[in-house]
Amino acid sequence: MRSKLDLTQDDLAKKADIKYTTLMKVESGTVNKPSVQTMAKIAKALGVSIEELLK
Q: Tell whether 16 is covered by a domain.
A: yes
* Predicted structure pTM score: 0.89
Q: Is the pLDDT of residue 9 over 90?
A: yes
pLDDT band at residue 55 under the 50/70/90 scheme: confident
Sign of the CA dihedral running 5, 15, 52, 8: positive
Q: Tell whether 43 is covered by a domain.
A: yes
The per-residue pLDDT for range 19-47, each reduced to its tens digit, is 999 999 999 999 989 999 999 999 999 99
**How far apart, in whole angstroms, are the C-alpha atoms of residue 21 and residue 55?**
22
Q: Tell whether 2 is covered by a domain.
A: no
Domain that holds residue 29: 9-53
Q: Tell whether 29 is covered by a domain.
A: yes
Q: Is the pLDDT of residue 1 over 90?
A: no
